[in-house]
Structure 1
Amino acid sequence: MLKTVSTAILLIAACAISASAMAQKHHKPAKSRAAAPSPNAAAPIGPAYATRPEALLFADDLAERRNLDREWVRQAIGQARFLPQVPKLMLPPPKGTAKNWRVYRSRFIDPVRIRAGLRFWQDNAETLARAESEFGVPAEIIVGIIGVETIYGQQMGNFRVMDALVTLAFDFPAAHPRAAERTAFFQRELEQFLSLTHRSNVDPFEPRGSYAGAMGLGQFMPSSWVRHAIDFDGDGRVDLFNSPADAIGSVANYFIAHGWKPGMPTHYSVQFDADPARVQLDELLAPDILPTFSAASMQAKGAVLDAAGAQHTGPLALVELQNGGDAPSYVAGTENFYAITRYNWSSYYAMAVIELGREVAAARAR
């Protein structure tokens, strides 16, 4: 049965990063930090942003709007270091690169992740069951997310989050087709991160994460940490780095906020009418993964749903998973499939999460 999260828990999430995740706690970074920065284990590092006028103007504006100490914000942004490899990692694959679901799947559904997922589920069975009961998000979906994101905490990222976010806020690659939009996104994430660390009395140079600035077992961006991270272990703080319980509850809370409907399947199998003339594939694929069609309207366009899918009462989307030079795979995605893509905007990602969770559940049943 779905329950609401208490206001008190949400307030904790909005104003705290766990001190245990970051050893040092300072409102002002040490002035020597720019000269001797903590290394990014993944990378060479470039110059500091103290010489970039646009970065310091952004710092001044942020400090005024957020009522933060101006000097603290200027030092934090000015001491951040450019990471030359990070903008390259943001570029999409070259045009003509074929997508391949089978290859993508093999990266995430393998014996290593399944074994790690089984251990994670066994170690956190009670917490996963509680999250499923309170939020209505199946344990296997939560297990799938944490497994795909970090192999259950084994790979949470070695980039200093501050460096990654500043690099992407001011040096996002202009060659990206949505460069302006993504630049604005990372500037907002930088603002959220600095506001969060300032409120929590945490050194912003301590947290490590992905090259995009995502943190913890579930790889939450700063805005998601502020809005959706919760204290699910009841110790009075939110720690997505070291508390599996907080990570489990936060992932479930994220899904509820993004439209997860308890009890609804994620997808149904789908075939096509034997007469190709009856299959309106372009029309079925036009909305992409946004659920738009009723079961009846989908079938009227030549899709053949399984028995459960034909009885589905909500909107559906035809999801295409390309397989390189082979024929694509198709499923009929529900609103819950779409909710998974709000974590990462990719149908391939969503299917990997679903299938990893199922494989771990099957291993647990055995």
Structure 2
Amino acid sequence: MVEKSADLRRGGVYRFLEELGMLYHTGFLPNSLNGCHMFKRRYAALLPALILLSACSSKPKTEAAQPTAGAPSGGFLLEPQHNMMQMGGDFANNPAAEQFIDKMVSKHGFDRQQLHAILSQAKRLDYVLRLMDRQAPTAQVPTGPNGAWLRYRKQFITPDNLQNGVVFWNQYEDALNRAWQVYGVPPEIIVGIIGVETRWGRIMGKTRILDALATLSFNYPRRAEYFSSELETFLLMARDEQDDPLDLKGSFAGAMGYGQFMPSSYKQYAVDFNGDGHINLWDPEDAIGSVANYFKAHGWTPGGQVAVQANGEAFGLENGFKTKYSVAQLAAAGLTPSQPLGNVDQVSLLRLDVGTGYQYWFGLPNFYTITRYNHSTHYAMAVWQLGLAVSQARVPAASPFSQ
């Protein structure tokens, strides 16, 4: 993706046990290698108990650093074993890496020796380069319907997924409702986004973010400028939040946490939604607030519809979330909405391949807002329908999208 909760501020051992119970009941404890990142420095005093959880930590199994008042102004709060090297490793003598270090020192006041130590331990990941090269679309446009939409939605709207979504919604209902009140974004949209992105925290990525961003910054010229900016923001985030940048894990492209925010999205949209003084994208409450803030910033209309299915067909019209038609134009072409559109007069024309033919929808402004998270008609429709299906699964009523 992108880039990328209720009030549980009780502190101390009680907060630790409460979060531990949350991980157990949602299934994160045995299944996720990254879901325990929320146990940050404030649990350093509980190290004996945390050792029992080392198998699910997103950080390497290491001795805890001694408590400190904070990182030096020019550097990071590194664990001892991460603070001992001079520049070497996979990016030694890499001109782009040296230029990056120069910029971080002059622009942001970082300690040069510590940046050398960090980047010496960063790894060039060839599989990241291969995956990035595979991102460019290569598939030919089909000549007729082949069920592409049905195959896509079946990745997300499944009985197991709906059950897991219900567990997440119930666990964080207070946070979801508060995000709705603060940002105007309803729970089903937030639940849909987090479900599509990470299966509600179960799949947040196992790639060390520093490795991914360094590889793409220094060895991927086609998008080096973009990823160098992301690496810059990532290191600033780690310094501000007193995280060890060598510990944080995410996607192969550097996306982080429940909502898979890129560092630039963290900088612009992430919020401290649980009020603990830190912005932690691996914390579900902070993720809920951050996703809601992202949607508000991108034009979400509170109370507005997302999409309305159309009656009729229009084979000759261009379709996709970027298209713009007046309702009158589509009516003249033979398409009418299956329910009132409210005061909306301009819509996009969405076409979904259901195998036996095409399904047409009127995309409304909120549908376009969902595509700001990922520029795909299928993605936005899956987010919306998954959220609605989870909402319906919480009550004894059949959802039109749960089958």
Please state if 1:358 is matched with 2:388: yes
1:217 aligned partner, one-letter code: Y
| 2:287 is the alignment partner of 1:247 | yes
Aligned pairs for 1:1-366 (under 5 A) are 19-20=40-41, 26-27=76-77, 29-32=82-85, 48-90=90-132, 91=134, 92-96=136-140, 100-172=148-220, 180=222, 182-241=223-282, 243-272=283-312, 280-282=316-318, 285=319, 288-290=320-322, 292-309=324-341, 311-323=342-354, 326-366=356-396
Tell me the CA shift for residue 130 of structure 1: 1.4
Equivalent AA in structure 1 for residue 198 of structure 2: T
1:305 is displaced (CA, Å) by: 2.2
1:123-175 CA-to-partner distances (Å, cap 9, x unmatched) read 11121111112211110111111111111111111110000111122333x7x
SS at match of 2:340: helix
Which runs of no fewer than 5 residues in structure 2 stay unpaired? Answer: 1-37, 42-57, 66-70, 397-403
Number of paired residues?
321
Report the AA paired with residue 209 of structure 2: V
User: 1:255/1:52 Cα in 2 relative to 1: closer, same or farther (>3 Å)?
Assistant: same
Q: Give the distance between the partners of 2:151 and 2:259, measured in 1 at CA.
A: 23
The amino acid of 2:347's aligned partner reads L
Residue matched to 1:7: none
TM-aligned CA distance change 1:170 to 1:234, over 3 Å = same
Distance 1:333 1:216, change over 3 A: same
The alpha carbon displacement at 1:76 in A equals: 2.8
Amino acid corresponding to residue 256 of structure 1 in structure 2: K
Q: How much does 1:350 deviate?
A: 0.9
Q: Which has the higher helix share?
A: 1
Amino acid at match of 1:333: G
Contact 1:217 1:244 in 2 (8 A): yes
**CA distance in 1 between partners of 2:271 and 2:39 (Å):** 11
The one-character-per-residue Cα deviations of 1:304-326 (angstroms, maximum 9, x if unpaired) are: 222313x4425311123345x65
Residue type matched to 1:343 in 2?
Y
**Contact 1:27 1:72 (C-alpha < 8 Å) held by counterparts:** no
TM-score by structure 2 length? 0.73
> Are residues 202 and 294 of structure 1, via their aligned partners in 2, closer, same or farther at CA, if it must alter by over 3 Å?
same
Shift of 1:96: 2.4
The one-letter amino acid paired with 1:225 is Y
Aligned residue for 2:328, secondary structure, equals: helix
Aligned-pair CA distance for 1:236: 1.8
Q: What is the identity, as a one-letter code, of the residue corresponding to 2:330?
A: M
Matches of 1:75 and 1:114, distance apart in 2: 45
The secondary structure found in structure 1 opposite 2:311 is strand
Asked if structure 2 preserves the Cα contact closer than 8 Å seen for 1:124 and 1:245, the reply is yes
The amino acid of 1:211's aligned partner reads F
Displacement of 1:272 in angstroms is 3.2
Q: Secondary structure at the match of 1:345?
A: coil
Q: Distance in 2 between matches of 1:328 and 1:131?
A: 36
Counterpart of 1:62, as a letter, is M
SS at match of 2:276: coil
Query: 2:202 & 2:86 partners in 1: Cα distance?
Result: 28
Identity across matched positions, percent: 40
Letter in 1 for 2:191: V
CA distance in 1, matches of 2:258, 2:183: 19
Kept in 1: contact 2:271–2:290 (CA 8 A): yes
Q: 1:307 to 1:358 in 2, by over 3 A?
A: closer
2:85–2:116 contact (8 Å) kept in structure 1: no
How far apart, in 2, do the equivalents of 1:245 and 1:339 lie? 22
Q: 1:188 to 1:57 in 2, by over 3 A?
A: same
Length-normalised TM-score, structure 1? 0.79
Report if aligned partners of 1:145, 1:353 keep a CA contact under 8 Å in 2. yes
Alignment partner of 1:317: what SS? strand
